[in-house]
Amino acid sequence: MKKTSYILAIITFCLFLIMLINFEKTSFVNFDKAISDVLFGNDLITAFHILGETTTIVTIALILLFVLWLVQRNFRGMLFVLLTIGMGRVLNQLIKNWIDRPRPELANDMTSFSFPSGHAMIGLLYLFTIAYLLSEALMDNKKTLIFWVTAILLTLLTGLSRITDSHHYATDVVAGWSLGFTWFVVCVIWYERRKQKISKIIDNT
């Protein structure tokens, strides 16, 4: 991963902290309302909420683990998936329960809390994980660009879908994207360093 991604991960973590500290302030409440007024009721974007549903994510994660295990024998990649998606989900729930921000009024029948958005955060994590592993496996610059553009676009639409159906505030979604990207980069750092370490061991034997 390029060093610019590390810098961006620091920036996104700072952005997450800004959302965390300030989401109740008037300027951020006005921001939430302004974004909601623009996006609310957009059925085209709302349809993408399915990409962030638990059933979708678990199914795709299991397929990823199956391919990495039986096809590639990439056990380190399997652990990478568990760290990005599995631990990312745990992290999201821990923060939600700690902050316990209520959902928007139209979604007050939902039992889970609002900050940060799980659809935004876990959606980013599993889509970016797929793009990363595909890029690593195929080593094709043109295809890599397609993978990442697709992953970013679907991540944006998945997060925005939670605003259009009034299940999350815009600050929830921005916080989810921000923390998700930071956690993804942390996992990539571990994955690549572990890969380098194993390569050195193999070279020395």
pLDDT band at 157 (very low <50, low <70, confident <90, very high): very high
Alpha helices in the chain (DSSP H): 3-22, 26-39, 43-46, 54-66, 75-81, 88-99, 118-138, 141-164, 170-204
50-83 tens-digit pLDDT: 998 999 999 999 999 999 888 778 888 899 999 9
Taking residues 112-125, report their average pLDDT. 92
pLDDT at position 204, please?
56
Question: What does the angle CA 94 – CA 129 – CA 78 come to, to the nearest 5 degrees?
Answer: 85
**Distance between CA atoms of 144 and 140, rounded to whole angstroms?**
6
pLDDT at position 77, please?
86
Closest C-alpha among 179, 28, 72, 67 to residue 118: 179
pLDDT at position 139, please?
76
113 near 168, Cβ under 8 Å?
no
Count of other CB atoms within 10 angstroms of residue 15: 17
The fraction of the chain above a pLDDT of 90, given in percent, is 64
Taking residues 100-106, report their average pLDDT. 82
pLDDT surpassing 70 at residue 109:
no
The fraction of the chain above a pLDDT of 70, given in percent, is 92
pLDDT band at 92 (very low <50, low <70, confident <90, very high): very high
pLDDT at position 83, please?
94
Mean pLDDT in the chain? 89
pLDDT surpassing 60 at residue 205:
no
Taking residues 96-115, report their average pLDDT. 79
pLDDT at position 34, please?
94
State how far the alpha carbon of 198 is from the alpha carbons of 3, 78, 184, 205, in Å. Answer: 21, 16, 21, 11
pLDDT surpassing 60 at residue 179:
yes
pLDDT at position 60, please?
92
Taking residues 11-36, report their average pLDDT. 94
Looking at residue 108, the DSSP 8-state letter turns out to be T
**Distance between CA atoms of 91 and 31, rounded to whole angstroms?**
26
